[in-house]
Amino acid sequence: MHNHRVIPGFGLSLGFTITYLSLIILIPLAALFLNAGGLGPAEWWRILSTPRVLAAAKLTFGASAAAAAVSVGVGLLVTWVLVRYRFPGRRLLDAMVDLPFALPTAVAGITLTSLYAPNGWLGGYLAKWGIQGAYSPFGVFIALTFIGFPFVVRTVQPVMEDLGSELEEAAATLGAGRWTVFRRVILPALVPALVTGFTLAFARAIGEYGSVIFISGNLPMKTEILPLLIVSQLEQYKYRDAAVIAAGMLLVSFTLLFLINLLQRQLDWHKR
Amino acid sequence: MPHRCPTTESAPARWLLIGLALLLLSLFLLLPLLAVFVEAFRRGAEVFFAALHTDAALSAVRLTLLAAAISVPLNTVFGLAAAWAVTKHRFRGRALLISLIDLPFAVSPVIAGLVWVLLFGAKGWCGPWLAAHDLKIIFDVPGIILATVFVTFPFVARELIPLMEAQGNDQELAAVTLGASGWQMFRRVTLPNIKWGLLYGVLLCNARAMGEFGAVSVVSGHIRGKTNTLPLHVEVLYNEYQFSAAFACATLLALLALVTLGLKSAVEQISHQGATRRT
């Protein structure tokens, strides 16, 4: 019973992994939940039901959902073009999709702001149509879409590359047009990946801070997002309010991640 | 003789879709990248270089490099250990451990900073003890490093776990059977197999470490010349309406992103070629 493991290093690697994980992630997060949990439901309700928190929650979740939905559309188009067609510059385009992952969020924030401000390159055009780009909820949506759509591309891309052509050929043989084939054959096969991409983009958008705070204008009740509200509570030394808002956000994000895991497990099971 | 393949679109539809994708990505990705450099040089090269050559900017660069130099090696060692533990062995709670490693991805950067404030801040759990011993973590360099370590925690592990899972244990088992020690097996068998994935993870980890904003912003206190990293320095300049200077410093971070993307594509290509040669 002493050691039936053939590959060495199990105790050492697992011990180090668990110790480090606990010190850096688990204990600090537990401290947050203990801080917030010690307050009781009445206090939670008092903090979370203030108009300012509700307005920030509505903007954060609303803009994140809208951005994730648009990311699915944009991501599907971009993935389709990258996987199915060959054209000059395709590899460069493929590499560029990761730019929002690699570009520091503060840089994305100030750049998008300068582009979409009323006197910016794109904001000027939008203003002609009566749309305010930066310093509005629409600006928050733009920043979150920028951050979110690579998640959709990178989730859908491998699935689309693995789609065999047999079903499409069969459908074409049976007289289906391209649009019918896309709608009835290809799209259903991509739905799970699209849902995962949506959820990843949505989860990232909820917590996003750097790219949003410059373009949003940060008006309480109008363009203030939840992460910024946490920061402003901290700046007023309201640690408890900050902890409760943060714990609420984390509960939503963890639930989302849990649901993705369930979904993926179910899909793996189907594949088998 | 059919004029077009029935399992692809007609040429006009194809070019329309390609055109639309190119237009969207140019507006959405290329234009912002271009804007960083245009804004940075708007008031001339002299202003640009002057902005980079201030004490505040140089100390911000130094602190950014320091935070990355500590957090990237730590999380690389962790990534190797975690991937080794969960892919080369089977044990109870393995699936839970893999989920927990991913946890920081679901945590807002602001919360990644907040947890350290709740632990080590003036009103935090260890605050009074730290104050009594004249130690400072929050609003000082250690806090910045802790926040950076938190947000970059899963990057290397995340690349290695699927890769090592797919490669299986056969080669390691063969090495052990032939009498290799644990260290020999790791260095001669495992490491060559995972080197590209490892490099890829380290690149992403480093880009995030140097570019992190939300988490370090919460713990930094924005003390100029002392606790500002480069992204925070950009924010300070921007909020002081020194737009050209802010964008000048932002070009350094944009270059970091471009170098990361370039190396990443190169690594992908090399590892892909290696994989096809082997099969």
Q: Which residue on chain B is closest to A164 by alpha carbon? A: B7
Among B162, B264, B150, smallest CA distance to B212 is for B150
CATH class, domain A24-271, is mainly alpha
Rounded CA-CA distance A197/A75 in Å is 9
HEC string of chain B equals CCCCCCCCCCHHHHHHHHHHHHHHHHHHHHHHHHHHHHHHCCCHHHHHHHHHCCHHHHHHHHHHHHHHHHHHHHHHHHHHHHHHHHHHCCCCCHHHHHHHHHHHHHCCHHHHHHHHHHHHCCCCCCHHHHHHCCCCCCCCHHHHHHHHHHHHCCHHHHHHHHHHHHHCCHHHHHHHHCCCCHHHHHHHHHHHHHHHHHHHHHHHHHHHHHHCCHHHHHHHCCCCCCCCCHHHHHHHHHHCCCHHHHHHHHHHHHHHHHHHHHHHHHHHHHHHHHHHHHC
The predicted structure's pLDDT at residue A7: 85
Which residue among B7, B91, B253 sits closest to A168, beta carbon to beta carbon?
B7
Residue A9: helix, strand or coil by DSSP?
coil
Rounded CA-CA distance B236/B243 in Å is 10
Which residues of A are less than 8 Å from B189 in CB distance? none
Question: 162-181 in A: which are within 8 Å (CB) of B?
Answer: 165, 168-169, 172-173, 178, 181
Q: Taking a C-beta distance cutoff of 8 angstroms, is the pair A140, A59 a contact?
A: yes
Q: Give the list of residues 6+ apart from residue B193 with CB closer than 8 angstroms, or none.
A: B167, B171
Q: Taking a C-beta distance cutoff of 8 angstroms, is the pair A109, B59 a contact?
A: no
Q: Taking a C-beta distance cutoff of 8 angstroms, is the pair A103, B211 a contact?
A: yes
> Is the torsion defined by CA of B179, B185, B189, B192 positive or negative?
negative
Residue A6, both tokens: 């053939």
Interface contact flag, B213 A104, Cβ < 8 Å: yes
Residue A62, both tokens: 């609303």
Q: Give the list of residues 6+ apart from residue A264 with CB closer than 8 angstroms, or none.
A: A192, A196
Length of chain A: 272
- What ranges do the domains of chain A cover? 24-271
Q: pLDDT tens for chain B, 279 residues: list them.
A: 445 566 778 888 889 999 999 999 998 899 999 999 999 999 989 989 999 999 999 999 999 999 999 999 999 999 999 999 999 999 999 989 998 998 898 899 999 999 999 999 888 888 888 989 988 899 999 999 999 999 999 999 999 999 999 988 888 888 988 988 888 888 999 999 999 999 999 999 999 999 999 999 999 987 777 889 999 999 999 999 999 999 999 999 999 999 999 999 898 888 877 666 554
Rounded CA-CA distance B214/B207 in Å is 15
Which residues of A are less than 8 Å from B218 in CB distance? 231, 234
Rounded CA-CA distance B219/B114 in Å is 7
Q: Which residue on chain A is closest to B40 by alpha carbon? A: A111
Token pair 């590209």 in the structure block, residue: B196
Rounded CA-CA distance A226/A206 in Å is 8
Number of other CB atoms surrounding residue B84 within 10 Å:
25
Here the ipTM equals 0.90
The predicted structure's pLDDT at residue B4: 54
Residue B117, both tokens: 């404030």
pLDDT digit string, tens, across residues A1-47: 344 577 888 999 999 999 999 999 999 999 999 989 888 889 899 99
* Chain A contact probe: residue of B8, B74, B118 with most A CBs at under 10 A: B118
Rounded CA-CA distance A169/B54 in Å is 64
| DSSP letters spanning A98-152 | THHHHS-HHHHHHHHHHHHSTTSHHHHHHHHTT---SSSHHHHHHHHHHHHHHHH
Rounded CA-CA distance A113/A249 in Å is 26
Interface contact flag, B7 A165, Cβ < 8 Å: yes
Which residues of B are less than 8 Å from A108 in CB distance? 32
Which residues of B are less than 8 Å from A87 in CB distance? 18
Q: What single DSSP character describes residue A225? A: -
Q: Taking a C-beta distance cutoff of 8 angstroms, is the pair A81, B25 a contact?
A: no
Question: 69-128 in B: which are within 8 Å (CB) of A?
Answer: 77-78, 81-82, 84-86, 88-89, 91, 97, 99-111, 114-119, 121, 123-125
Residue A201: helix, strand or coil by DSSP?
helix
> Is the torsion defined by CA of B201, B202, B207, B211 positive or negative?
positive
Q: Taking a C-beta distance cutoff of 8 angstroms, is the pair B160, B197 a contact?
A: yes
Question: 17-56 in B: which are within 8 Å (CB) of A?
Answer: 17-18, 20-22, 24-25, 27-33, 35-36, 39
Residue A194, both tokens: 């699209």
Interface contact flag, A25 B97, Cβ < 8 Å: no
* Chain B contact probe: residue of A17, A112, A204 with most B CBs at under 10 A: A17
* Chain B contact probe: residue of A72, A96, A103, A241 with most B CBs at under 10 A: A103
Among B163, B160, B153, smallest CA distance to B215 is for B153
Mean pLDDT by 10 residues, chain A (272 residues): 68 95 95 89 91 95 96 96 91 91 95 92 87 90 95 94 84 85 88 90 94 90 93 90 94 84 72 56
Count interface pairs A-B at CB distance under 8 A.
Answer: 273
Rounded CA-CA distance B3/A82 in Å is 24
CA B118 to chain centre: 25
| DSSP letters spanning A26-37 | IHHHHHHHHHHH
| B56: closest CA of chain A, how far (Å) | 18
Q: Which residue on chain B is closest to A231 by alpha carbon? A: B218
